[in-house]
Chains A and B, each alone.
Chain A
Amino acid sequence: MMDLHFWLPVLVLFTSLGAAAIIFWLDENNSRMRSSINLAAAGIKILLVIWILVGVSQGEVYETRFTLLTGIDFVLRADALGVMFAGLSSLLWLFTTLYAIGYLEGTPNRRRFFGFFSLCVASTLGIAFAGNLFTFLIFYELLTLSTYPLVVHKGTDKALRAGRLYLIYTLGGGVVLLAGVLWMHSLAGDLSFAATGQLDALLPEQASTLKWIFLLLIGGLAVKAAMVPLHGWLPEAMVAPAPVSALLHAVAVVKAGAFGIVRVVYDVYGITLSYQLGLLLPLGIAAAITILYGSLRALAQQDIKRRLAFSTVSQVSYIALGISLFGPAGTIGGLVHLLHQGLMKVTLFFCAGNYAETLGIHKIQQLNGAGRRMPGTSLAFTIGALGMIGLPPIAGFISKWYLATGALHADMDWVLLVLILSSLMNAGYFLPLLYRIWFCPQQGEWPQERVLGRWDTSLWLLIPPLVTASLSLLAGLLAASDFSPLAWVQLVTTREYLP
């Protein structure tokens, strides 16, 4: 029992937890040591996740299981779906760490920041590898708590207010989720995440109870997934430093909610049962409303980060939308968007941070002519934005393709209309930015220009968005190859539908 298969998931978690512990213990001013530890941990973790990835693709099982109380197990298990999320988190953690090191250069409280940053990623990995609802809940709450110091990092009134709102929303959601988990536990015992029809035995007597529990579980998760009308905290949380926003929007918090929804639908209820109970259509409608509402609100924003935030509200619900489409194509579309949206959105936030840090640009009107001053950043931003619109050959196109196919296979043709309308609105709120960046001449001085190196900005800030932009380009361009996110998602989907 004490072999590597048992310890590997824990080990992955401990790379971040250990890093957090050491960072808290290190001196505030020892930034060289701190950065080394951060990067080393990120590197080791990626290697471990790749190891697991290879193993899982060959059918290996990695599981850590302790019994906490009779009937409640603490389970960490690396299945294909979990590894997918873990891979995304560890990859983007590396780039966000690089970025954050450059971004926070010379600012106070970096020890606190990086410590909680590591904790936050540890919780995300815990969510990825959680093997049952109980374990999931622990890490889900841990994530809430470890993100709070990051959101309020600047310590301004505005930041504190946003942080309070964030806590009210997420803890409230957590309570609802807890209620759902407890009810489920009382009904069905300790359920592991598995793509089998483990609740089928409760039918038909408990059908309505199961529906109520579903509502509680999804309702709790929808807060973090920022589904309308529970999305209010997300745009406010924009006051956080750029790397935090990037992490929040691309992998950590929002994705944790979306990932939770995936787990509940596929691995607690099972897609077939969810379909039979008629739970998918309401989920799809809620997702569609969120998509359209988020895009509509994004159109009206004049602040770059706020526009991006509402774009996240809209885009993350593509995942929920894909899940609600019964059939493999919809599943692929939803899951692959979890990865693609992460890559593209992290790029956009890195770039927004670069504009703010280097030129002091926060508003959209100030972007005029930024392409000439910061071509590298602007190129990355362009790739991210075009990908969000869903233009080939960038990753977003692949997501949209599968979502549309899934919708038509599930006989939900109206979803196509939602997708097209949303694409139109995406074009409406991203193209003007690109127009200003590339085609408008600069107007007057930049609000607050700093010269950082001979490139656009310092390389710490420039390389991460360029790499993530290239990755989102490659993920779309080579989607049909064996090493694309799409290929892994297809593997996951096969396992979800053919357990």
Chain B
Amino acid sequence: MTSLLLLLTPLWPLLLALPLVLRLLQSEPAASQQAFNALWLSAPLPALLLALYLGSGLFETAANSSQQLLLPGLLLGGHWLVDEVRLVFLLMTSLLWLLAGIYARGYMQGKPAALNAFALLWLLTQSGNLLLILAEDVASFYLGFALMTFAGYGLVIHQRTSEALQAGRIYLVLAVLGEALMLAGLLGTTARSATPTMSQLAITLAEPDAPLWLLTCLLLGFGVKAGLPFLHVWLPLAHPVAPTPASAVLSGAMIKAGLLGWWLVLPLGLTSLPQTGHLLTTAGLLAALAAALIGIMQSRAKSVLAYSSISQMGMITALLGAGLADQHLWPLLVPALLLFVAHHGLNKGSLFLAVGISQHPGRLPLPLLVLLLLLPALALTGLLGSGLMTKWEAKSGLYQLEYTGLINWLTLAAAGTTLLMARYLWLLWQEYKTASQPDQHQSNPWMLTGWLILLPLGLLVPWWLPLPDQAQLLWPDPQNFLQLALPVMLGSLLALAGGWLIGRFSKDWQSRAIPGGDLVWIYLSLQQPLQHLGQKLLSALQQAQQQVLQLAHSLSLIWPLLLRLTDRESLLRREAALTFALLLVVLAGLLLL
């Protein structure tokens, strides 16, 4: 049963993709709603079933709760499994894909653009995302990662506007760079490992003589996906232009793939790497704070959410860095991080989906809509539900080993999150106002269904998420509640003050705001001189080659010589009989000797 589900998890979406490929081959008209049928929706079900089956506690066979599947013929020997960590990722990812898929079915209705292509790429991206979660052998993992990344490109540029294409280009360049770094790290570490499995890589990297460049390659390679500062620029560009359900999975599930990569290969809990760990923490905090500052300047809700994702991933990165720096801290952080992953993935998903809902609110009564929009935002700030629990869990781990500095920074970052959420809600409100005046669109039942199921699931993560056995969830006691609410209050105050100041003094602040994608504009300005340099180098090489070619051609100077030889030859031809007679004599002489 488990083996079958393991096999179907990445395979079922691929099987469903087959008819779409065939339709592509027959070059049928692409705009058909049929692509999004019930079968298409069922793509993540095997993964979800597997996660529920393993996570429900019904299944307790042996001491280890992990189940595996060996596929000896696949790639370089396939090895797929679900353990405690993967279980959380799998559950969160499959849920998000399922509900975003339901939402997408409604979202794509009446849209003219290439639906067949979208449906196909959706399945491929999903298959890759699920495979990389299960993969224990390095080749399968890389396959899943690459499939997800490259198929995801098609989702990003789905709308084919020039903005989408530009975002897609940046996405692709960084993705290829990330894949290359990751591949170097994976291959380099595998060559030093006994077996090509992910857990073995962590053991290899824990050895004291493991070269630093391997660790660097892996950190940066996965960092592209996880939104590490300086490598994050694709995120705020890709999210606003992608179709909303795609943004939801991109931000909820796919950027977690980078985190999972780190989680699996870094020697967390095996050894302490203080320098690397602190560096990672610093980078994470930088992302958390800077993204909040740049994010509040955005004027599109989805851009704000993208920056919020960078900021949240920055917090996770900071925690991960702390765990990397101190192997004793790591076990305390594991439940908090798992909770964080599921909490952020699902809530961010529902925040993205809400953007589409607020544009077409339909007949939802306003107070209910406001409440439903407010709840996940408040959860993300950490005021209630899953966010509160996540924060408490993380803090208590850090308190135990007296990481007060990190706690303070994270508190500041949480205040930033509050600012971002305030900005997001403000922008949603604007969109709602413009949309609801002539309510041209009915709210779509598919969109509403997807969103309304995802919303409570996200809010209630700690109450249903199967965490590792030994992890005990700590419930915050009421005295500490005030302390936990502090950053939210700080953020709210800042937001109010900021809103008032802007309204009062500066109407055209947006012209001075940092545009979405921030550093990318600096990168792009470097492109021209670099291209110029490359062209110069190429033309120099070409010239050198031309010279070699000319040298080769100068061999043809032998030609006149050859012609003269031909003249002489005519003599031989005229006296052919004599020539052959001579030849015979010579040959006979040779044989006799």
Contact = CB atoms under 8 A, between A and B. Distances in A.
A416 interface: yes
B548 interface: yes
B188 A376 contact: no
A229 B548 contact: yes
Nearest to A405: B191
A169 B552 contact: yes
B73 interface: yes
Nearest to B537: A296
A225 interface: no
A229 B545 contact: yes
A462 B111 CA distance: 33
A404 B552 contact: no
A322 to B, nearest CB: 14
Interface in A395-418: 397-398, 400-401, 404-405, 407-409, 413, 416-417
Contact of A168 (B76, B157, B183, B552): B552
B191 A480 contact: no
A232 B191 contact: no
A438 B548 CA distance: 39
B1 interface: no
Residue of B21, B78, B139 most packed against chain A (CB within 10 A): B139
A396 to B, nearest CB: 12
B183 A478 contact: no
B184 A427 contact: no
A197 interface: no
Given A392-B142, A439-B154, A476-B75, A423 B183 contact: yes
Contacts of A398: 75-76
A229 B550 CA distance: 13
B25 A404 contact: no
Interface in A363-408: 372-373, 375-376, 379, 386, 390-393, 397-398, 400-401, 404-405, 407-408
A65 B312 CA distance: 73
B69 interface: no
Interface residues of A, number: 48
A259 interface: no
Contacts of B25: 375-376, 379
A439 B160 contact: yes
A44 interface: no
A458 B434 CA distance: 55
B187 A404 contact: yes
Contacts of B27: 372-373, 375
B72 A480 contact: yes
A47 interface: no
A397 B187 CA distance: 11
A436 to B, nearest CB: 12
A293 B537 CA distance: 11
Contacts of A392: 75, 139, 142-143, 146
B187 A405 contact: yes
A279 interface: no
Interface residues of B, number: 41
Interface in A135-186: 165, 168-169
B176 interface: yes
Interface in A202-241: 229, 232
A486 to B, nearest CB: 8
Contact of A477 (B74, B549, B555): B74
Given A392-B146, A480-B77, A420 B183 contact: yes
A232 B73 contact: no
Given A232-B545, A375-B27, A477-B75, A409 B552 contact: no
Contacts of A400: 183, 187
Contacts of A390: 183
Nearest to B552: A168
B150 A391 contact: yes
Interface in B76-93: 76-78
Contacts of A405: 187, 190-191
A372 B114 CA distance: 11
Nearest to A235: B545
A257 B192 CA distance: 33
Contacts of B187: 400-401, 404-405, 408, 416
B370 interface: no
B264 interface: no
A232 B552 contact: yes
B156 to A, nearest CB: 11
A27 B551 CA distance: 43
A297 interface: yes
A431 interface: yes
Interface string B168-194: 000010001100110110011011100
Given A232-B548, A232-B552, A408-B192, A391 B146 contact: yes
Nearest to A293: B541
B552 A479 contact: no
A481 interface: yes
A296 to B, nearest CB: 7
A216 B184 CA distance: 35
Given A416-B187, A420-B183, A480-B73, A393 B143 contact: yes
Contacts of A165: 552
Nearest to A296: B538
Contacts of A299: 538
B562 interface: no
B24 interface: yes
A40 interface: no
Contact of B176 (A379, A413, A431): A431
Contacts of A397: 75, 139, 142
Contacts of B542: 297, 300
A424 B182 CA distance: 12
Contacts of A372: 27
Contacts of A169: 552
Interface of A: 165, 168-169, 229, 232, 293, 296-297, 299-300, 329, 372-373, 375-376, 379, 386, 390-393, 397-398, 400-401, 404-405, 407-409, 413, 416-417, 420, 423-424, 427-428, 431, 438-439, 476-482
User: Which 9 pairs from chain A and chain B are nearest by CB?
Assistant: A481-B73, A408-B191, A392-B143, A404-B187, A405-B191, A480-B77, A427-B176, A375-B25, A420-B184
Given A297-B538, A404-B184, 4 more contacts: A297-B541, A420-B180, A420-B184, A478-B74
12 contacts: A229-B545, A232-B549, A375-B27, A376-B25, A392-B139, A401-B139, A404-B184, A404-B187, A408-B191, A416-B184, A416-B188, A424-B176
